[in-house]
Amino acid sequence: MTAVHAEPGTDVRGIDSSGEFRDLLLCFSVEDVEKHVFSRCDHTLVFSRHHWLRYKGDYRLRADLRAAVDDLRGRDPRTWDDEECELVLVLYVLSLAQVGLEQLKDVITLDELRATLEARLWSYLDALGQPRGTTGPLTIIEMAGRVTELRAQVENFYYRHSIIDGAAWHRAEGLIPKASVDLGTLTPPVEALLAGDYGLTAGPAEERLREATAIALRRDGCAAELIRGVMRAAVADPLLRVDHATVTCARGDMLDRVEQMTGSEAFFTDTVLRDGLDLADFAEQIGHDSVDRLRKTTRARMLKLKRGAVRNYFRPGCLQGQWVEKAADYMIFRNEDAHYRGHRSIGCSTGGRAAYTVRYENGGQLKELPPMMGDFRVVRLSHAEEDLFTAADLVHVIRYSQWIRAVLEETFRRGGIVEPPPPTRGAADRDDTEAMED
């Protein structure tokens, strides 16, 4: 239905109201509506981060909206009331625009959807230096298509990042110019790491990181301690001012069968805390003062996220071929501990995340791991307004993530691994319903 059909009146691009949408659906078979419309509604519901939106006068969660959509599936569109028809149209258009429900504010209505897409469209046009004017008003379907088209152009020059407000269940989007992120100048803590532990004091940043990787593989047999060293540099960096950092990535021993990386043993994940951090100072806020509990909870959640995302990426379904963790590759999060015990237990108040692809060779072919199988995130426990994470802070998260990526790619290029898998699967590998959530 996203294409122009030969039959009169079946061009979906002209749709701009729920009534028009309902009339169009009546031109199609039940099978076509399921295939082209409800499948997109399903995609939006799965793709979206947690949300809390008004529908028919009441605030609803994902399960409520899924139940409403399932009810509409079994009914003739002529029996749908205006709000029901609007719900299906909004979910359908969000899928076309690749925008989640959490980016709407407060309500699921066509007016709110239009305001959200218009803000995104203006942001992209401004970033690209293009005028906001068009040859005429865009329908809601055309606006979704235009947002998707411009997003691809924006990504050539900007890092798109999500700005998550966990208390408000809302996500906005920001843009960081790629030219503003200096990957070629190492921070003083990373310089100290390479000089002190690896004897590397001169040369381009990525070249030294790759040389350090080679030394680590010869000396340690794996790259884990080098990666932990970069993490310790991050938590010691006054530019970041964070309390703990976590890296999650492919371990490297299953690159010939990535689709089977659905077990915890396929991934490396570890959390490093800032020297001098005393969790007793935050015990009332996070509910404990145990470093071990914080690290195990974070580990359990990260492994659960990656395992599930790999399954969705490779198995048949509406998310096949898409790496979905409810957010863009880059994220600023604020008030993340407002609703979840898991977030509170690791002090996940504010911070940032950068995810990245990792290139490797297999069978003589250069390949890439699915996006976000490399994941670097940092956390500040403070609730103080002046400690809220910003785009300026995220710039440094991106820098560290790319330096870690360089280590991983050199590790895999040399046939190494990040760290040998543990001999037995422990409790930390099991799903933890109270663990950190994206």
- Please report where in the chains the tokens 């809302």 appear, as a residue: 170
Q: For residue 368, how many other CB atoms are within 10 A of its CB?
A: 11
Lowest pLDDT segment from 39-43, 278-282, 320-324? 320-324
Q: Which residues pair with 165 in a beta bridge?
A: 170, 334
Q: For residue 437, what are the contacts with CB-CB under 8 A and spacing of at least 6?
A: 50, 301, 340, 342, 343
**Distance from C-alpha of 200 to C-alpha of 186, rounded to nearest angstrom:** 12
Task: Identify the pLDDT of residue 109.
Answer: 97
Q: Which two tokens stand for residue 37?
A: 């419309």
DSSP track, 211-254? HHHHHHHHHHSSSHHHHHHHHHHHHH-TTT--SEEEEEEE-SS-
**Of 277, 234, 246, whose CA–CA distance to 381 is shortest?**
277
Q: Does 50 score more than 60 pLDDT?
A: yes
Considering only residues 408 and 336, tell me which one the structure prediction assigns the higher pLDDT: 408
Question: What would the pLDDT profile of 329-378 be if each residue is shown by its tens digit?
Answer: 899 999 888 777 778 888 889 999 999 889 999 888 999 887 778 899 99
Q: How confident is the model at residue 81 (pLDDT cuts 50, 70, 90)?
A: very high
Q: What would the mean pLDDT of 31-46 be, rounded to a whole number? A: 92
pTM, to two decimals: 0.89
The burial of 67, by beta-carbon neighbours within 10 Å (0-12 exposed, 13-18 middle, 19 or more buried), is given as exposed
Q: List the beta bridge partners of residue 333.
A: 164, 351
209-223, 279-293, 319-333, 351-365: which has the minimum mean pLDDT? 319-333
Does position 136 have pLDDT exceeding 80, yes or no? no
- The winner for highest mean pLDDT among 11-20, 82-91, 133-142 is 82-91
Residue 190 has pLDDT above 60, yes or no: yes
User: Which H or E run includes 331?
Assistant: strand 330-334
The domain spans of the chain are: 12-156, 178-429
Per the structure block, which two tokens stand in for 60? Answer: 């609803």
| Residue whose C-alpha is closest to residue 88's, from 57, 112, 110 | 110
Residue 7 near residue 53, CB atoms below 8 Å: no
Q: Which two tokens stand for residue 330?
A: 């880059």
Nearest CA among 295, 296, 319 for reference residue 309: 319
Percent of the chain with pLDDT over 90: 73
| pLDDT exceeds 80 at position 426 | no
pLDDT-based confidence at 62, cuts 50/70/90?
Answer: confident
pLDDT of residue 221 exceeding 70: yes
Is residue 239's pLDDT more than 80? yes
Element (H, E) at 352: strand 350-356
